[in-house]
């Protein structure tokens, strides 16, 4: 046989054997994975949000969801301004209240990455006003507050997880009156004046022993000022907001944009919505006050805040911009509360969670159907006007919900929205 023919036959036989033995490509390998927020979930989100508006529980609402860094849901229902019939829309500006806190935490952690501080450093190294703190022990027979020296200094970690000991309660005899007189939240204060006023009040408990929400993140903002040498709002703008393209996330809303500023609504116990006068509701954001708090005060559009959430889902990066390293985001989204911290105020109302650096962190699945649904490993926070967001790393999902309703969600809006977003996911698991 001709050698060339023989070689050709060998090659053909080898290829034939290889083709026969090659594994078949499964349909799951050739098809894109199914999105969690599918058509059924979209319909469920729509009907859920429409229902709250139709019931008169809220004036208006908008929601935005990204999955695998692609927009999978946006819609808006009802009114940003019910009295003037201005619809809730994508460019509506809302007060995000405590959803300011995670933004501040990111700003602080950019300095941590530069090795400007360690989490277990004494806070007084950077804010000396908080050296040698006293801790409340009660009141004596004459009604005077009694104290003892703090068992240990407040650390930076304490102010990132709300275990510093700062009072945020109007029912502690003697101490609550001191807090009120100190005017720690006065808009005319600088952050330094806020700290001076706060440091003049005894701590409610020893640092690290309890979880109590409060002014910790405003102190974080002051730390950013002290370390960076820049006003906090300027540092925030240069190192977080502008790089992410969050141009409409700000403290002061100029007059030209106030037509897009959502009205604030108060819901009475009998379910009646009443509008808070704009001059009262927006007094902070209508004026250029000295105070630029880290714990509240920012306004945003839903797309702006989603850019922040997507950066976190992207482990510190969005598009071609890097704000934090992946390890830093992971640290922020890790529980920093030890089991010894048993007094946690209302944090357990958020579900099976711990607390990281300015986020709640879900540790376990919901223990009952009464709890809001969530996936282990997610991190999230919300705001006083019932806004909320979360990042779900397992499903590569981020969600932002905007509404302007006080008191904080007493109508089950967050539970309903979460269950709608995950409705198809839950159905597939059952």
What average pLDDT is seen over the chain? 93
pLDDT over 70, % of the chain: 92
CATH architecture of 39-100+230-429: 3-Layer(aba) Sandwich (3.40)
Q: How far apart are the C-alpha atoms of 366 and 342, rounded to whole Å? A: 19
pLDDT of residue 92: 98
- Is residue 303 pLDDT above 70, yes or no? yes
- Is residue 28 pLDDT above 70, yes or no? no
Chain centre distance of CA 87: 25
* pLDDT single digits (tens) 222-265: 999 999 999 999 999 999 999 999 999 999 999 999 999 999 99
- Is residue 105 pLDDT above 60, yes or no? yes
pLDDT of residue 32: 59
β-pairing, 397-402 vs 60-67, is antiparallel
pLDDT of residue 73: 98
- Is residue 138 pLDDT above 50, yes or no? yes
Put the strands of the sheet holding 388-392 in their side by side order: 86-87, 70-81, 60-67, 397-402, 388-392, 379-382, 360-362, 353-355
CATH topology of domain 116-228: Methane Monooxygenase Hydroxylase; Chain G, domain 1 (1.20.58)
Same fold for the domain at 39-100+230-429 and the one at 116-228?
no
Beta bridge partner(s), residue 353: 362
- Label residue 403 exposed, middle or buried (CB < 10 Å: 0-12, 13-18, 19+): buried
pLDDT of residue 34: 85
What is this structure's pTM? 0.91
pLDDT of residue 26: 38
pLDDT of residue 29: 45
Q: How far apart are the C-alpha atoms of 364 and 341, rounded to whole Å? A: 17
**Residues contacting residue 44 through CB under 8 Å, at least 6 positions apart:** 420, 423, 424
Name the DSSP letter for residue 321.
E
Q: How far apart are the C-alpha atoms of 150 and 146, rounded to whole Å? A: 13
CB 391 within 8 A of CB 414: no
CB 218 within 8 A of CB 191: yes
H or E segment at 281?
helix 278-281
Q: How far apart are the C-alpha atoms of 146 and 398, rounded to whole Å? A: 47
β-pairing, 321-322 vs 70-81, is unpaired
- Is residue 5 pLDDT above 50, yes or no? no
Chain centre distance of CA 105: 10
Beta bridge partner(s), residue 361: 354, 379
Q: pLDDT higher for 5 or 329?
A: 329
- Is residue 422 pLDDT above 90, yes or no? yes
* pLDDT single digits (tens) 140-168: 999 999 999 999 999 999 999 999 999 99
Q: Residues 184-212: what's their mean pLDDT?
A: 97
pLDDT of residue 31: 58
Domain ranges of the chain: 39-100+230-429, 116-228
Q: Residues 93-114: what's their mean pLDDT?
A: 98
- Is residue 397 pLDDT above 90, yes or no? yes
């Amino acid at each position: 046989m001709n050698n060339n023919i023989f070689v050709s036959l060998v090659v053909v036989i080898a290829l034939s054997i290889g083709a026969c033995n090659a594994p078949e490509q499964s349909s799951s390998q050739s098809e894109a994975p199914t999105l969690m927020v599918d058509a059924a979930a979209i319909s469920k989100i729509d009907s859920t949000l429409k229902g709250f508006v139709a019931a008169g529980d809220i004036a208006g609402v908008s929601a935005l969801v990204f999955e695998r860094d692609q927009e999978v849901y946006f819609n808006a229902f009802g009114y940003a301004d019910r009295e003037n019939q201005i619809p809730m829309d994508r460019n509506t500006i809302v007060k995000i209240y405590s959803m300011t806190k995670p933004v501040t935490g990111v700003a602080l952690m950019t300095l941590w990455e530069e090795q400007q501080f360690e989490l277990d450093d004494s806070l007084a190294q950077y804010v000396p006003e908080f050296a040698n703190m006293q801790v409340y022990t009660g009141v004596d027979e004459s009604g005077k507050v009694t104290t003892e020296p703090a068992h240990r200094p407040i650390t930076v970690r304490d102010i990132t997880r709300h275990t510093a000991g700062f009072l945020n309660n109007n029912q502690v005899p003697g101490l609550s009156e001191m807090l009120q007189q100190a005017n720690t939240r006065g808009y005319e204060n600088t952050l330094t004046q806020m700290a001076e006023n706060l440091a003049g009040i005894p701590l409610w408990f020893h640092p690290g022993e309890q979880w109590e929400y409060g002014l910790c993140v405003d102190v974080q903002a002051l730390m950013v000022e002290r370390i960076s040498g820049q006003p906090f709002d300027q540092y925030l703008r240069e190192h977080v907001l502008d790089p992410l393209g969050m141009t409409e996330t700000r403290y002061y809303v100029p007059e030209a944009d106030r037509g897009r500023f959502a009205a604030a609504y108060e819901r009475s116990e009998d379910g009646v919505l009443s509008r808070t006068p704009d001059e009262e509701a927006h007094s902070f954001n209508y004026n250029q006050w000295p105070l630029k708090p880290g714990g509240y005060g920012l306004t945003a559009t839903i797309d702006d805040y989603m850019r922040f959430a997507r950066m976190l889902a992207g482990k510190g990066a969005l598009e071609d911009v890097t704000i934090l390293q992946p390890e830093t985001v992971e640290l922020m989204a890790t529980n920093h509360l030890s089991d010894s911290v048993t007094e946690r105020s209302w944090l357990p109302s958020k579900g099976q969670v711990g607390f990281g650096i300015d986020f709640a962190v879900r540790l376990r699945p919901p223990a009952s159907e009464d709890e809001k649904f969530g996936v282990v490993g997610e991190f999230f926070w919300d705001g006083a006007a019932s806004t909320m967001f979360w990042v779900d790393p397992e499903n590569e999902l981020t969600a932002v919900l905007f509404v302007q309703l006080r008191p904080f969600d007493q109508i089950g809006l967050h539970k309903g929205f979460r269950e709608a977003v995950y409705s198809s996911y839950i159905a597939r698991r059952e």
